[in-house]
Structure 1
Amino acid sequence: MNMISESIVKDMSLAHNGHLKIDWVKEHMPVLNRIRERFEKEQPFAGLKVAISLHLEAKTAYLAKVVQAGGAEVTITGSNPLSTQDDICAALVEDGIRVFAKYNPDPAEYKEHMIKTLETRPDLIIDDGGDLVTILHSERRDLLSQVRGGAEETTTGILRLKALEKEGKLEFPMVAVNDAFCKYLFDNRYGTGQSVWDGINRTTNLVVAGKTVVVAGYGWCGKGVAMRAKGLGAKVIVTEIDAIKAVEAYMDGFEVMPMLEAAKHGDYFVTVTGNRDVIRKEHFEVMKDGAILSNAGHFDVEVNKVELNALSTSTRIVRKDIEEFVMADGRKVYLLAEGRLVNLAAGDGHPAEIMDMTFALQAVSLAYVNEQYKNIGKSVLNVPYELDAMVAQYKLEALQMGIDKLTDEQKSYLDSWVE
């Protein structure tokens, strides 16, 4: 196969720089390296086709190479128009992986890349946000029959999968990688927490200390964003729809209030809910001059861009990834990265050491689905605990750390109801 002729990428001359980026993250992903060694010996995907839709940057590229090392024919596309890195795409094509992706394609191109990826008729998929699954279950049901199952990366994707499952329409098993301990405890909290502020800071070049940050949503991602904002010296307000999470945010030392009140105080806004219209017309109308809006949810619907445009008298790009909206009263509101994932659209995403665990889970979950797809039904499945624990153990060993083990007496004590 000639992957260059079969692929759609921007510029193959960028491949050298892409290889350098991939080599760098490989050096910082020891858990995934260990999985790769296992896959090279066991060849769990021999003779199979795997389709991947993820944010197409260096860490994702290395996951694709690990799956390829397990014997798969891999095709990959992006999961966000602004997170694809063209040099990474070129490097993957040189490494024998079919790629359909470019940075900032128009909506029609973006959809075409997804469909072309599915038209390779994959046996297994790795999805981000449920995009591949949604296309398979709606407009391209003709491509469903060969799919054995797959793994899903995000909260948003799992919500979509569970909606399909609830309606009895899910046609193959999907593992909810996002819900694994080694994903949400580290990737969602520490990964999102750091990478969101990496993206905001490199884009704005403005100080955070002393400012007020409004974090919409206090799930694991919101916890990380709020924690890092506090560490940078900001005053933090959390908005929530869940009373339990709101109390948790309060106990963690943050102010809690409705968005309509928080909108009056915020200098920075970060949405991390997975829902639409979290910041909308009534909020824009009371914001301070100079407020900066960003989103860290999967889709660009959390900040209502239609209403923001309607309220503004003029707009312009004032800096890469910063759009200025001038209100009728002269106030200026700024939106980062078109309201798309700020940590990937305006940055490089999560640190390599964090994605090491997440992508290790993706790799072993995909192998698990391939082994068990005939037995596990058409459902959304949790990552088996033994796989979660294995990834954590590999991480500890990479850190050269050890933990205690229960003695036989301790095990007996825990298993008994007798004093």
Structure 2
Amino acid sequence: MTTTDRRAPRKAQPGKAQPGKIEEPQGTPARRAALKLLDAVLRQGLPLEAALGAANGLPNPADRGLARAIASEVLRRLPDLDDLIDSATPKPMPDDAKARFALRIALVQALAMGTPAHAAIATALPLVDGGPRRLVHGVFGTLMRGEATLPEPPSLLPEVAERWSLAWGDDAIEQARISLAARPALDLTLADPSATAHWAEQLGATSLMPGHLRLDNADVTGLPGFEEGAWWVQDLSASLPARLLGKGAGTVLDLCAAPGGKTLQLAAAGWQVTAVEMAAKRLGRLSENLARMNLTADLVEADVMQWTPAAPADAVLLDAPCSATGIFRRHPDVLHRVKPRAIADLAAIQAKMLVRAARWVKPGGRLVYAVCSLEPQEGEAVARAFSLPGFAIDPVRVDELPAGLVPTEEGFIRVPPGALAEAGGCDGFFIVRFRRD
């Protein structure tokens, strides 16, 4: 990150006055943490979740939550924030200038998060200590006096809008913008779909299909049914791949299993599950969730491209590594990190992984390939290129999906931006089911 002032920065302990030092306003540490999070995403290309250590050093949980909220809101509105900043400067400052980062943080609080303007700028100015504080203060003041506003809904990054417009059309862009602004609902998957009506009444939830509940965000661990393992958190779209395998009918391989919702679904449906995941930490969380749900599965820590099962399975579910652009509603950082080259590389990996996984399906068995991506290069293109002898698409039926989603003519499931918007929306996904002769 660059600055336009080379003077040595002053170092001060936040909240403690020192001789000759300026005491920082209360709340500045949370803004410093937000700055580090944004730097990690925008300059280093890290996922926001991976960068959260920058906020974990804050002793106050409220400050940690605020740092994450500020960084997320900046990422949702970055093109619009930068347009405002550039409108108030003689020439654009560098993208990685501390002054630009500080202004993004101050403006998003004042214009989108309800923070009083004086507090927003007071806690942002220390972020450029040793740098152009006067510039930051001047630009912020100019915009506030001019009654600047941010557009609603937020704008997509131009390169993302162009890519998705070509893939899904201009209407999808508007729906994506609306989805970006909306607060996603909390989706739950029930271990026993026959109890949907009971738990909907208990939790005051709505349901879009058997085994699914939707409610406003809440303290998950405090809800009825959590301790006894009646349900788990899982976006509706993410629950569809496992649903396409139906009731347990033998053995199933859940490949790239984390975060584990599909493993829980398959085990609850009666399958004998082998869950393969290369991230030990995520596999540990899956083990804990299985225990809470009183479900069982064989957990294998391995790379799917290096591992081989002892025997073929009746079904294989491959939720392949992907760009994850479909989860942009909850994770807006993906829109800034994922570039065309990465999409192409991931699609190539998926194609190889799909062929490898297919060889582990018994004759007469089924194979489901899914990605939480809105990039047709990863989903549709990979599925159409798959041509292993003996496999054919097993078309998804309308009655296997929530009302409002329909299969494509090829029998795929494509959940585009803004799908089920009137019911609260869901993540972008691609899913296809094959059957082996």
User: What TM-score comes out, normalization by structure 2 length?
Assistant: 0.30
TM-score (normalised: structure 1): 0.31
| Largest Rg, 1 or 2 | 2
Using CA pairs under 8 Å that are at least 6 residues apart, name the structure with larger relative contact order, 1 or 2: 1
